[in-house]
Copies of this chain bind each other. A is one copy, B any other.
Amino acid sequence: MDVLEAIFTRRSIRRFENRPVPAEMVEQLLKAAMYAPSARNSQSWHFVVITDRQLLDAVPTFHPYAAMIREAPLAILVCGDEQLEPRTAYWVENCSAATQNILLAAHGLGLGAVWLGIYPNADRVEGMRRLIGNMPAHVIPMALVVIGYPAEQPAQPERYRPERVHYNHWRS
């Protein structure tokens, strides 16, 4: 799939077929994440691949928008590492670029995915920490990407908004 087509046709997918994502695809998704740019190439990220049914099903107990995960075979938790980037707080931006790469790679592979926000919501950060266990304090869960074979095809809305574009100077 062409990269521009992938960008323009990607949608959040919240319905999934009841079949697992092959291990080779999971590795492609993780590789895509790690090819994101990062400030000073710090690569200040970790990824937790979650396929354990009990862990997946527990996410809605602390995340109000995670009901779709009960249908999904896979989630990837994208985490920032403050020790890998001690001087500035660019880890959120690094991890977000990595997360977007996962979403686009999933779409390109014929999978569907949805980005669930974790950080900076304290309840969700704490819920993910409890779920995964033993995560060091300098590692912060930022986004949970729920992934599977799509069982829905959402329509493509128009999202281009010319009023959000400014040229050289600000005009309201």
Contact = CB atoms under 8 A, between A and B. Distances in A.
A30 B96 contact: no
Interface of A: prevailing SS: mixed
A169 to B, nearest CB: 5
Number of copies of this chain that the complex holds: 2
Given A88-B120, A92-B93, A168-B55, A34 B108 contact: no
A81 to B, nearest CB: 9
A155 interface: no
A170 B135 contact: yes
Contacts of A8: 31-32, 35
A104 B46 contact: no
A166 B168 CA distance: 45
A143 B38 CA distance: 12
B104 A7 contact: yes
Interface of A: 1-8, 10, 12, 28, 30-32, 34-37, 39, 43, 45-52, 55, 88-90, 92-93, 96-97, 99-101, 103-105, 107-109, 115, 117, 120-121, 132-136, 139, 142-143, 159-161, 164-172
16 contacts: A1-B3, A3-B108, A30-B160, A34-B164, A37-B115, A48-B165, A49-B167, A88-B117, A88-B120, A89-B120, A93-B117, A97-B100, A104-B104, A132-B170, A135-B170, A136-B170
